[in-house]
Amino acid sequence: MTDATPLASEQITPETFLAQLRRVNTDRYQAWIGDADDAGILFDAAELGGEVGELLNVVKKLEREARGWRGSRAAPEDFADECADVLICLDKLARRMDVDLEAATIRKFNATSDKVGLPQRLSATPVPGDQDASQAQGERLREVIYRYQCDAGLAPDDAAADADGIVEAYLAAPRCDGAGWGADGG
């Protein structure tokens, strides 16, 4: 069994999750096939199809159980595992055509929102240490603070002047623990 702890070099290099998946997935594929011939795009497409089939089989079993029908069962963990397998295989297939899954997904999601007239949009995942991403996050934070202050009835100048105070108050506020507000009643 190998240690799943990331190497120091993996911890230093900032990258998005999908970029990390692509890098490590490619490395693992090369280690897996060794000196054998590359399987090719058709193999990767068939592998993805197989994993989607396994995911659908889990969905069928979960639906069967929800309806109270007889037959084999699946657990929610099985669903999560098959979703992960689909993503891993999709990345392997996308790599064959040099598709950046993050960029392609953002572009397609936003184009569909535009086409059907919905306001929901995706933006690129900021990479830790990326100056442009940090600046974009700061601009978004300032916009949220501005809207918060305006909703509170404060003048825009007051919103800009009190941004640090709002951030500090937000960071000090009780957090939702996933099941509701924290024990302090916040």
The CATH number of the domain where 83 resides is what? 1.10.287.1080
Let me know if residue 8 belongs to a domain. Answer: no
pLDDT at 31: 94
Same domain, 24 and 98: yes
For 176, half-sphere exposure in the C-beta direction (CA atoms, 13 angstrom radius) is: 3
pLDDT at 14: 73
Residue range(s) defining the domain that contains residue 49 = 13-116
Let me know if residue 72 belongs to a domain. Answer: yes
Same domain, 25 and 107: yes
Of 92 and 182, more confident = 92
pLDDT band at 8 (very low <50, low <70, confident <90, very high): very low
pLDDT band at 114 (very low <50, low <70, confident <90, very high): very high
Same domain, 148 and 68: no
Q: What is the pTM for the complete model shown?
A: 0.62
Pairwise CA distance, residues 67 & 84, whole Å: 26
Mean pLDDT of 133-160: 64
pLDDT at 129: 62
Report the candidate in 102, 143, 139 with the shortest Cα–Cα distance to residue 123: 102
Residue type (1 letter), 12 = I
The tens digit of pLDDT for each residue in 22-34 reads 999 999 999 999 9
Of 165 and 47, more confident = 47
pLDDT at 94: 97
Same domain, 90 and 45: yes
Placement of tokens 């990767």 in the chain: 44
Question: Based on the structure, what is the number of domains in the chain?
Answer: 2
User: Phi-psi bin for 173: left (phi > 0), alpha (psi -120 to 50), beta?
Assistant: beta
Residue 176: φ, ψ to 5° = -70, 130
What angle do helix axes 131-151 and 163-172 make, rounded to 10 degrees? 90
Q: Which helix (H) or strand (E) holds 144?
A: helix 131-151
Same domain, 102 and 135: no
CB atoms inside a 10 Å sphere around CB 186 = 9
The tens digit of pLDDT for each residue in 39-93 reads 899 999 999 999 999 999 999 999 999 999 999 999 999 999 999 999 999 999 9
